[in-house]
């Protein structure tokens, strides 16, 4: 089993990483391979895991992720620092089984007809910083609305609990594999008319944004990319998925409850 450990540099994280590495070194058949891993163990928080995802996104189909959180409870991190021994035992005592989540595919077409492709685990947003964004929004190549506002956010189901939720979007279970678009401070007048409500699209549908601006900002999971001379941006659910080791993997709604509501011991 080829394993790599991705982590932040917090003091508590480094302690957990040192202990984790010692445990793994005692296991037969473990090879530490940061280039072509079978399993990526992240120690830190959701940001650490998202960074690791982008580092290995070209190998995403052959990698399983395991998240250990050493600070506040992360949405993608199933294990706590004190549970490392238990996690390592489970990794080697059970047959591999994955829980898979859909990803967002982003295709940027330039004025020169060059195509650039990106993958997002959470979301991608299109914004302008000092001015409002004007754009036409198409659904499956049919004009849906003329948008004006601060921007638009397209999210995956798991990303629906992040930026999308703060914009008033719905929280979507990842088995739905749906795309969600939420407006960021839209302006409605006699020229620009938008729905002023988040929309949820079927997995086979595509959202296309045609910006009326020679420059704007696009984010991929919070990473800022300055864009110039773009013709359009296409968003759809990718055929690729991210895979998490299923052992100890927390039920989706339990994650939502823990993250936003708090623990509740009442059962039916």
- 239: annotated binding-site residue? no
80 three-state secondary structure: strand
- 10: annotated binding-site residue? no
Count CB atoms within 10 A of the CB of residue 151: 25
The DSSP letter of residue 192 is -
Of 36, 34, 35, residue with least CA distance to 7: 34
- 159: annotated binding-site residue? no
Residues carrying an active site annotation: 46
- 240: annotated binding-site residue? no
Do strands 64-69 and 230-245 pair parallel, antiparallel, or not at all (unpaired)? parallel
Cα torsion through 58, 63, 64, 68, rounded to 10: -60
- Cα distance between residue 160 and residue 260, in whole Å: 13
- 262: annotated binding-site residue? no
- 266: annotated binding-site residue? no
- 123: annotated binding-site residue? yes
149 CB burial (10 A radius; 0-12, 13-18, 19+): buried
- Cα distance between residue 43 and residue 160, in whole Å: 23
Question: Would you list which residues are annotated within the binding site?
Answer: 46-47, 122-123, 148, 150, 161-166, 185
Question: Would you list which residues are annotated within the binding site for NAD(+)?
Answer: 46-47, 122-123, 148, 150, 161-166, 185
């Amino acid at each position: 089993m080829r394993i790599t450990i991705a982590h932040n540099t917090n003091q508590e994280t480094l302690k957990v990483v040192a202990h984790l590495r010692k445990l793994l070194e005692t296991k037969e058949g473990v090879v530490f391979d940061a280039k072509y891993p079978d399993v990526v163990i992240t120690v830190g928080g959701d940001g650490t895991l998202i960074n690791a995802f982008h580092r290995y996104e070209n190998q995403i189909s052959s990698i399983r992720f395991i998240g250990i959180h050493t600070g506040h409870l992360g949405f993608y991190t199933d294990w706590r620092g004190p549970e490392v021994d238990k996690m390592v035992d489970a990794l080697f005592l059970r047959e591999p089984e994955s829980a898979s989540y859909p990803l967002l595919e982003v295709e940027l077409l330039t004025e020169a007809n060059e195509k650039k492709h990106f993958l997002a685990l959470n979301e991608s947003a299109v914004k302008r910083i000092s001015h409002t964004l004007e754009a036409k929004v198409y659904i499956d190549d049919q004009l849906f609305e003329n948008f004006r506002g601060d921007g638009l956010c397209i999210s995956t189901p798991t990303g629906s609990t992040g930026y999308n939720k703060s914009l008033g979007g719905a929280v979507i279970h990842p088995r739905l594999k749906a795309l969600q678009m939420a407006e960021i401070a839209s302006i409605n007048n006699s020229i620009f008319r938008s729905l002023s409500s988040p929309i949820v699209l079927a997995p086979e549908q595509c959202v296309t944004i045609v910006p009326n601006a020679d420059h704007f900002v696009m984010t991929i999971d919070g990473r800022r990319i300055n864009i110039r001379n773009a013709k359009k941006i296409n968003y759809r659910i990718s055929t690729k998925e991210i895979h998490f080791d299923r052992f100890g993997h927390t039920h989706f709604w339990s994650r939502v409850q823990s993250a936003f509501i708090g623990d509740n011991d009442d059962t039916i």
